[in-house]
A and B are shown apart, each in its own frame.
Chain A
Amino acid sequence: MPGLTLVPTQVAVATGADFSNDTWWIVAIKAVGVVVFLLTSVLVAIWFERKVVARMQIRPGPNVHGPFGLLQSLADAMKLLLKEDINVKAADKVLYLLAPMISVFASLLIFAVIPLGPEVSIFGVVTPLQLTDFPVSVLYILAAASFGVYGIVLGGWASGSTYPLLGGVRSTAQVISYELAMGLSLVSVFILAGSMSTSQIVASQEQIWWFLPLLPAFVIYFISMVGEVNRLPFDLPEAEGELVSGFMTEYSSMKFAWFFLAEYINMLNVSAIATTLFFGGWRAPFGLHLINDGMFNEGWWPLLWFLAKLWTFMFLFVWIRGTLLRFRYDQFMKFGWKILIPAALVWIVMVAAVQSVRQFTDIDLQTLLIALGVVAVVAIGLSFLIPEKKAPPATEGEPEEFDAFAGGYPVPPLPGQTLPPSPRRRARLAEETEQRTATAVLTAEADASTTDQPSDGEEEEPRG
């Protein structure tokens, strides 16, 4: 095919990882390895977040415990372990205990199917750097993520207190709303990769990482992954000014630590999914794979690339936190349902149309892209011909009297609106003008000859 070879035309489904060599002890090592990797990553992530946010706010951040304050989060974890384990009186005992465990349990499961690297040799056994993989890996990931919501909603409900309840239902509504957009954004990846197995999706990105041809899908995924893990600017479940700590309010000691841990593991999870599905997983960046016959795509090197991409996403999380303000809840829901989901649906239709033209007709990609470009140019050109909606003419003249209490509670006036004087002020004004006219009449009577008296009866308003 001449011209662009952006995406392989006939998607040959790439072969996934081969786990046939795994023995029971390899599986055990990998399973424990996944958990240890996540726990240490979280300790580093908490330190990393605090340090980066501190730098963004021009302060040093944690710097006392260990080199560069690296042991700070370990000290915090130990402190939480040694604190009193309080079970509040109004709580539903079983669910109250179970909720943090569900949270952390579900968050630990996702990394099982994330490929950290290609085949390596562990104690002489050649095995992929991934616990397991099956044809529906991404579905498993979504299932585990949805299971984690139980921890939040049960924790909020079982606490038997108002703030946790509101935080819990808010968080659930948020996570499920953004999960839809997330799930829809992944469909286009499956169309191009022809698989839902994570190792096959990584293998399919040999020529190009999917975030380039599927940029809108990646943008939708990125926004919804921030909403999914309840991070700023979408951290409404624990909006401190409104809900104290949301669903975690009644939790203390290790039970609180588990919620906290689950939140950070979930950040790692969604970053790892973004890396795997859109950024080529463990594949070497910047054409490094061309060096020395693909040396950088073999052995333990890919683990480095994977971690670099993972921590780039973690940095983005912290950067967003340090930059953006929290959304208002109605804006947030509107954004999810009215913008992200329709955009994701339109994108799927477009990808399906382009892919079916490429796969089921003889038109090659170049002609197709040119045709699409022409259509886009014509559409943009036509959009200029549509007369712009004229703004309604600004109402001139007498500013309308504004009823501040129309909605049942007082609202401040907008620009162009003026408040009517308050009843108290009205009475005082009337009193003053009465006095003034009285004195004016008196003075006018007393010395009619002097005309330089200030006659500012009604202009001067009492300020205050």
Chain B
Amino acid sequence: MSNPYVPILVLMGVAAVLALGGVGASAIIGPKRYNRAKLEGYECGIDPTPHAVGGGRFPIKYYLVAMTFIIFDIEVVFMYPWAVAFGELALFGVVAMMTFLVLITVPFVYEWRRGGFEWD
């Protein structure tokens, strides 16, 4: 194989067939016995809370975590090419990356001090 990504596509095909096939098989083989209570959401026996239907709400903290993640994930991914080409980029690369690290650490410390990582 000349293109190394072709086997990935083949594996994706096999995985997709398995994923679809399993769910499909159980839908065909499994019994069908209608019961209204079975189709309700599970909430320890009581009627489901209405607001959960169609969205539902959850604490804003999770959004904060997601936003912080995006910032730092870019940092991480940006470090990979530098790490791989560490030898070729030589001292210039090290100095540049350390500057970048300092620049990204400042907001990290800022968010820490402002309580961005406090849960509650």
Q: Mark B1-42, 1 if CB is under 8 A from A, else 0.
A: 110111110111111101110110111011111000011111
A223 within 8 A of B: no
**Beta-carbon contacts under 8 Å, A66-122 to B:** 80-90, 97, 100-102, 104-105, 108-109, 112
The answer to whether A196 and B84 have CB atoms under 8 Å apart is yes
- CB–CB B42/A195 < 8 A: no
B22 touches A112 (CB 8 A): no
Contact A253 B30, beta carbon cutoff 8 Å: yes
Say yes or no: is A34 at the interface (Cβ < 8 Å to chain B): yes
Query: A31-B11, A160-B54, A352-B98 given as contacts; is B69 within 8 A of A254 (CB)?
Result: no
Which residues of A lie under 8 Å from residue B7 when comparing CB positions? 22, 27, 30-31, 112, 131-132
Q: When the two chains form their complex, are residues B77 and A183 in contact, meaning their CB atoms are under 8 A apart?
A: yes
**Complex: chain B residue closest to A195, CB-CB:** B84
A254→B65 contact, CB < 8 A: no
Cα separation A84 to B38 with both chains bound (whole Å): 11
A108 close to B11 (CB less than 8 A): yes
Q: Is B66 interfacial (CB 8 A cutoff)? A: yes
CA distance A188 to B31 in the complex (A): 53
In Å, the complex CA distance between A376 and B42 comes to 57
With a cutoff of 8 Å between Cβ atoms, the chain A residues found around residue B23 in the complex are: 85, 97, 100-101, 254-255, 258
What is the chain A residue whose CB lies nearest that of B31?
A84
Q: Which residues of B contact A337 (CB under 8 A)?
A: 68, 117
B51 to chain A, nearest CB (A): 8
Within 8 A of A (CB), among B75-115: 76-77, 79-80, 83-84, 86-87, 90-91, 94, 97-98, 101, 105, 108, 112
Any B CB within 8 A of the CB of A334: yes
Q: Is A169 an interface residue (CB 8 A)?
A: yes
How many angstroms between the C-alpha atoms of A446 and B99 in the bound complex? 93
Residue on B with the closest CB to A12?
A: B87
Contact indicator per residue, chain A 11-23, by CB within 8 Å of chain B (1) or not (0): 1000000011011
Q: Give the CA-CA distance A166 to B39 in the complex, in Å.
A: 20
Q: Which one of A90, A131, A162, A356 lies within 8 Å of B91 (CB-CB)? A: A356
Interface status of A61 (Cβ within 8 A of chain B):
no
* Total inter-chain residue pairs, C-beta < 8 Å: 232
Interfacial residues of chain A within 329-357, with CB under 8 A of chain B in the complex: 329-330, 333-334, 337-338, 341-342, 345, 348-349, 352-353, 355-356
B41 in contact with A161 (CB, 8 Å): yes
B2, B38, B43: the one contacting A162 at CB < 8 Å is B43
Please, how many angstroms separate the alpha-carbon atoms of A6 and B8 in the complex?
Answer: 36
Contact B8 A112 (CB under 8 A): yes
A159-B41 in contact given A31-B10, A360-B91 (Cβ < 8 Å): yes
A187 in contact with B117 given A35-B11, A80-B26, A87-B39 (CB within 8 Å): no
In whole angstroms, how far apart are the Cα atoms of A20 and B54 in the complex?
52
| CB of A364 to closest CB in B, whole Å | 17
In the complex the two chains form, what is the Cα distance from A257 to B105 in whole Å?
A: 42
Q: Which residues of A contact B6 (CB under 8 A)?
A: 27, 132
User: Nearest residue in B to A108 (C-beta to C-beta)?
Assistant: B15
Q: Known: A27-B6, A330-B120, A356-B94. Contact between A84 and B73, CB under 8 A?
A: no
Residues in A whose Cβ lies below 8 Å from that of B29 = 81-82
Question: With A11-B87, A160-B54, A253-B30 as given contacts, are A105 and B19 in contact (CB-CB < 8 Å)?
Answer: yes
Query: When A112-B11, A169-B58, A177-B65 are in contact, do A349 and B40 touch as well, CB less than 8 Å?
Result: no
- Are A162 and B4 interface neighbours, CB within 8 A? no
Cβ of A415 to closest chain B Cβ, rounded Å: 24
Query: A245-256 CB contact bits vs B (8 Å, 1 = yes)?
Result: 000011001110
- Offer 28 A-B interface pairs, CB within 8 angstroms, sorted by A: A19-B4, A23-B1, A35-B14, A35-B18, A90-B40, A100-B19, A101-B20, A109-B11, A131-B11, A134-B5, A161-B41, A161-B43, A161-B52, A163-B43, A172-B62, A176-B65, A177-B65, A184-B79, A187-B83, A190-B84, A254-B25, A258-B19, A258-B23, A329-B119, A333-B119, A337-B68, A353-B94, A359-B87
- A residues sitting closer than 8 Å to B (CB atoms) are 10-11, 19-20, 22-24, 27-28, 30-32, 34-35, 80-90, 97, 100-102, 104-105, 108-109, 112, 131-134, 138-140, 157, 159-163, 165-166, 169-170, 172-173, 176-177, 179-180, 183-184, 187-188, 190-191, 194-196, 244, 249-250, 253-255, 257-258, 329-330, 333-334, 337-338, 341-342, 345, 348-349, 352-353, 355-356, 359-360
Q: A24-B1, A183-B77, A360-B91 are in contact. List 4 more A-B contacts (CB 8 A).
A: A35-B11, A84-B32, A169-B62, A255-B26
Q: Which 7 A-B pairs have the closest CB atoms?
A: A161-B41, A254-B26, A330-B119, A190-B83, A132-B7, A108-B15, A183-B76
